[in-house]
């Protein structure tokens, strides 16, 4: 192939080294598919002396100063896989302003600054692609932006964090949260500081990106109600299984009257829901469109090779655009300004677990309190006796407004016969489940 497109790679760790390896290993095949040779010419690293899993691609120089890449007029494509907003944000802005195309796997950056950067790319006839930012090796951004663009997307539900899904799978098997988290850390699924995963912030960034694309309306992580898994009990997962349900950390985005509903929290799902069978570190995204119906995307949502696969796919797309003279065609597609409804206005079913004194009339008092706030109960089960005079009640409500449920629970928690409200978990279930 006569023409060569040069790539500058920012970061050569778990993902970056696999990107370099794939581009070099499949160079001939990629060249045939693009109509040009794609060559990594420069690699930015923090420590040039550090040993690496994969060697630097042949002919590429190792740089420790970003200016060597940003100021190189021969560099066509910048690939950012370092993560974090700073300094990546400034570097990507500078690259786009110089007309360089950018591929990034940086979910935080795209979630917060994606709209601005997409418009900047369009204004400079450059491309900005970010397939790997949401689901690693699972292709979902491209389908939403292109293949499904003729649909009105009504719902997205995703298991988009492999760490929490692994932990919940272990808890389903009877392991405590603490033991499951330690095992996830030992296996490399969780960081030493796991808060971004277990507190739901990673999933919130990802669902905000998906919601922005699907609804054509800007959603940022600050708009997303976020609740993690650290307060879940293995009792709740066991009760869910007994009732034919499962609990997953779900990123949810759906159209509702008056706006869009976007949130992340542990969610009760029917056992036959497509997401219910997704186990361990695997991810899945469930989409409903008005024309296409229901779709499910499943696979490895993290890891060096799966993420690098998505990055390389973006590199190839950008290279094809470059060869066709069709770069910079798409800026931010958030043309609407839909209201993200606050959590108090959310309407959902709820799973509630309450410890009570085992006395006559307790359930009647609880049901009466719910009734005063227009919350009706679909199921009530006495699961076990905790002590001689105490029992545990599991209740599932019909669809109710969150604010009303919380007001009712405040009153219930103050009852003399109630020891404490142990769990509140939102549910995506139908009346028949």
Question: What CATH number should be reported for the domain holding residue 35?
Answer: 3.40.50.720
Q: Is 318 exposed, middle or buried (0-12, 13-18, 19+ CB in 10 A)?
A: buried
Predicted pLDDT at 384: 66
Whether residue 163 sits in one domain with residue 291: yes
Whether residue 81 sits in one domain with residue 133: yes
Q: Which of 141, 140, 94, 136 is nearest to 117 (CA)?
A: 94
CA dist 255 and 269 (Å) reads 19
Predicted pLDDT at 333: 84
On whether residue 52 sits in a domain, the answer given is yes
Please give the helix or strand (H or E) that residue 379 lies within, else none: strand 377-387
A 10 A CB-CB count for 131 gives 26
Per-residue pLDDT 10s for the chain (433 aa) are 579 999 999 999 999 999 999 999 999 999 999 999 999 999 999 988 887 888 999 999 999 999 999 999 999 999 999 999 999 999 999 999 999 999 999 999 999 999 999 999 999 999 999 999 999 899 999 999 999 999 999 999 999 999 999 999 999 999 999 999 999 999 888 899 999 999 999 999 999 999 999 999 999 999 999 999 999 999 999 999 988 999 999 999 999 999 999 999 999 999 999 999 999 999 999 999 999 999 999 998 888 999 999 999 999 999 999 999 999 888 888 889 999 999 999 999 999 999 999 888 999 999 999 999 999 999 998 766 667 788 899 999 999 999 999 999 999 999 999 999 999 999 997 655 5
β-pairing, 347-357 with 390-397?
antiparallel
The 3-state secondary structure of 225-291 reads: EECCCCCCCHHHHHHHHHCCEEEEEEEEEEEECCEEEEEEEEEEEECCCCCCCCCCCEEEEEEEECC
Whether residue 317 sits in one domain with residue 289: no
Whether residue 162 sits in one domain with residue 27: no
Give the catalytic positions in this structure. 206
On whether residue 55 sits in a domain, the answer given is yes
Cis bond upstream, residue 7 (ω within 30): no
Whether residue 317 sits in one domain with residue 293: no
Taking a C-beta distance cutoff of 8 angstroms, is the pair 253, 215 a contact?
yes
Whether residue 409 sits in one domain with residue 348: yes
C-alpha triplet 392, 351, 430: angle, nearest 5°: 135
On whether residue 335 sits in a domain, the answer given is no
Whether residue 173 sits in one domain with residue 67: no
On whether residue 142 sits in a domain, the answer given is no
Whether residue 170 sits in one domain with residue 76: no
Which strand ranges, in their side-by-side order, compose the sheet holding 77-80? 61-63, 37-44, 4-10, 77-80, 101-104, 128-129
On whether residue 329 sits in a domain, the answer given is no
Whether residue 288 sits in one domain with residue 165: yes
Whether residue 203 sits in one domain with residue 246: yes
On whether residue 432 sits in a domain, the answer given is no
Q: What CATH number does residue 234 fall under? A: 3.30.360.10
Rg for the chain, CA atoms, rounded: 24
Name 39's Cβ contacts closer than 8 Å, sequence gap at least 6: 4, 5, 6, 7, 23, 27, 57, 59, 60
Whether residue 348 sits in one domain with residue 280: no
How many domains does the chain contain in total?
3
Q: What CATH number does residue 347 fall under? A: 3.30.70.260
Whether residue 266 sits in one domain with residue 182: yes
Q: Is 114 exposed, middle or buried (0-12, 13-18, 19+ CB in 10 A)?
A: buried
Question: Which of the 8 DSSP states describes residue 398?
Answer: P
Taking a C-beta distance cutoff of 8 angstroms, is the pair 167, 195 a contact?
no
Count of alpha carbons within 13 Å of 382, Cβ hemisphere only? 10
Q: Which of 282, 313, 308 is nearest to 296 (CA)?
A: 282
On whether residue 316 sits in a domain, the answer given is yes
CA dist 161 and 169 (Å) reads 13
Quote the domain boundaries for residue 388. 343-427
On whether residue 185 sits in a domain, the answer given is yes
């Amino acid at each position: 192939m006569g023409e060569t497109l040069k790539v500058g790679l920012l970061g050569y760790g778990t993902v970056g080294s696999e990107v370099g390896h794939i581009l070099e290993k499949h160079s001939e095949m990629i060249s045939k598919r693009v109509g040009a040779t794609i060559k990594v010419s420069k690699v930015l690293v923090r420590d040039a002396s550090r040993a690496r899993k994969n060697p630097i691609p042949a002919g590429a120089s190792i740089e420790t100063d970003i200016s060597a890449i940003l100021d190189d007029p021969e560099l066509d494509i910048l690939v950012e896989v370092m993560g974090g907003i700073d300094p990546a944000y400034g570097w990507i802005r500078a690259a786009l302003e110089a007309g360089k195309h950018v591929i990034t796997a940086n979910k935080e950056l795209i979630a917060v600054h994606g709209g601005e950067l997409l418009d900047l790319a369009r204004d400079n006839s450059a491309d900005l692609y970010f397939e790997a930012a949401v689901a690693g090796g699972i292709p979902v951004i491209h389908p939403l932006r292109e293949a499904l663009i003729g649909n009105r997307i009504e719902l997205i539900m995703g298991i988009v964090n492999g760490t929490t899904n692994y932990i919940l799978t272990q808890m389903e098997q009877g392991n405590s949260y603490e033991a499951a988290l330690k095992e996830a850390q030992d296996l490399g699924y969780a960081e030493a500081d796991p808060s971004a995963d277990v507190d739901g912030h990673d999933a919130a960034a990802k669902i905000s990106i998906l919601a922005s694309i699907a609804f054509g309306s800007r959603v940022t992580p600050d708009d997303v109600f976020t609740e993690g898994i650290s307060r879940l009990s293995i009792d709740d997962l066991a009760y869910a299984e007994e009732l034919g349900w499962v609990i997953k950390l779900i990123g949810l985005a759906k159209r509702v009257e008056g706006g869009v509903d976007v949130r992340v929290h542990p969610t009760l799902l029917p056992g036959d829901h497509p997401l219910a069978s997704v186990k361990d570190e695997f991810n899945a995204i469930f989409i409903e469109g008005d024309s296409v119906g229901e779709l499910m995307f499943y696979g490895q949502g993290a890891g060096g090779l799966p993420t690098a696969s998505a990055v390389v796919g973006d590199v190839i797309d950008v290279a094809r655009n470059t060869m066709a003279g069709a770069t910079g065609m798409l800026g931010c597609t958030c043309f609407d300004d839909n209201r993200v409804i606050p959590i108090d206005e959310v309407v959902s079913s709820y799973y509630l677990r309450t410890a009570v004194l085992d006395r006559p009339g307790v359930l009647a008092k609880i049901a009466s309190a719910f009734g005063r706030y227009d919350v009706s109960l679909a199921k009530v089960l006495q699961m076990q006796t905790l002590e001689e005079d105490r029992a545990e009640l599991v209740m599932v409500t019909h669809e109710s407004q969150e604010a009303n449920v919380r007001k009712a629970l405040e009153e219930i928690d103050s009852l003399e016969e109630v020891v404490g409200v142990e769990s509140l978990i939102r549910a995506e279930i139908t009346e028949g489940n």
